[in-house]
């Protein structure tokens, strides 16, 4: 009996199976075999994260993607039931610590809009003239991100429609129920006295920020004359007019390239109101 052919076939099958699992990680996930660390097999829902990290599952690309979040590097815990308020408190404390001599008014009213980037759901309440617009969640790359900005509405477009809640207004066209006037209104213009956008995971207590958003972080003095910002923002104006004595580069940030952790994906997400950073007074 020729034993060579069966052995050759068996060897060939094993090689093919290993090749398939390498090229298409997660194919054998349902069979409990060939599980690897998530960094190597991010599409395997049963991949493994190191003991000092937590696995994050995100729906993206051709299916679910798994990433590992290093627990020691979290400046905020996104799994905490108080994460939203913790993020707001962190932003205020951070700006107060480094810009307190300039930005002396960080109070902004309640959070009025919350976007859950994982589910796409938006929670809204009635809008006053001054409120916080906040977004947080898991991006398609697995990164946890926070964007908080103080909105100061300088001009409303008013209607004659009386309301009790936002549901009484045409929310699809951007109309909301004004807190005090109780009529449907939409924002025509506004400004941002302060803004913070950062990643929840950072190797230090200093927030990590993508380069494209670094210049957006900071705050203005109540009179709008002085700004505390990241150094590259102030350097930009010094290079243009030779003087930027109104700009103080006291805001420490861990700035990473725009392609950090595939962050180019997030550039297509809606981040921020689009209002200019000043108090408009």
Per-residue pLDDT at 233 = 82
Q: Are 139 and 193 in contact (CB under 8 A)?
A: no
Residue numbers of the chain with a pLDDT score lower than 70: 1-35, 59-63, 113-127, 137-142, 239-244, 258-272, 278-281
Which positions ≥6 away from 169 have C-beta within 8 Å? 159, 161, 163, 175, 176, 177, 184
Mind listing the pLDDT tens digit for each residue in 30-40?
A: 333 445 788 78
Q: What is the domain partition of the chain in residue ranges?
A: 4-72, 74-268
Q: Which residues contact 39 (CB under 8 A, 6 or more apart)?
A: 68
In tens, the pLDDT along 162-180 reads 998 888 988 788 888 887 8
- Supply angle C-alpha 113, 114, 120, rounded to 5: 120
Residue 271: per-residue pLDDT: 54
pLDDT of residue 116: 60
Q: What is the pLDDT of residue 68?
A: 85
């Amino acid at each position: 009996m020729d034993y060579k052919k069966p052995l050759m076939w068996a060897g060939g099958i094993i090689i093919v199976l290993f090749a398939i699992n390498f090229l298409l990680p997660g194919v054998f996930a349902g069979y409990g075999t060939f599980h690897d660390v998530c960094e190597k097999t991010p599409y395997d829902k049963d991949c493994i994260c190191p003991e000092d990290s937590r696995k994050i599952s995100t729906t993206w690309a051709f299916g679910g993607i798994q990433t590992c979040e290093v627990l020691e590097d979290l400046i905020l815990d996104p799994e905490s039931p108080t994460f939203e308020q913790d993020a707001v408190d962190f932003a205020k404390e951070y700006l107060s610590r480094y810009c307190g001599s300039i930005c002396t008014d960080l109070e902004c009213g309640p959070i009025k809009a919350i976007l859950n980037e994982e589910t796409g759901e938006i929670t809204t309440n009635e809008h006053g003239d001054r409120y916080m617009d906040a977004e947080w969640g898991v991006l398609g790359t697995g990164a946890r991100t926070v964007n908080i900005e103080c909105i100061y509405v300088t001009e409303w477009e008013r209607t004659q429609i009386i309301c009790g809640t936002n549901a009484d207004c045409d929310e699809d066209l951007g109309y909301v129920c004004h807190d005090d006037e109780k009529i449907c209104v939409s924002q025509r213009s506004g400004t941002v006295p302060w803004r913070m956008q950062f990643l929840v995971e950072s190797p230090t207590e200093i927030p990590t920020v993508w380069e494209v958003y670094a210049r957006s972080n900071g705050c203005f003095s109540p009179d709008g004359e002085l700004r505390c910002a990241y150094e590259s923002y102030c350097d930009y104006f010094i290079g243009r007019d030779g003087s930027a004595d109104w700009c103080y580069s006291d805001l420490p940030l861990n700035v990473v390239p725009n392609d950090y952790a595939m962050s180019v994906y997030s550039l297509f997400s809606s981040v921020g109101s689009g209002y200019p950073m000043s108090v408009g007074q």
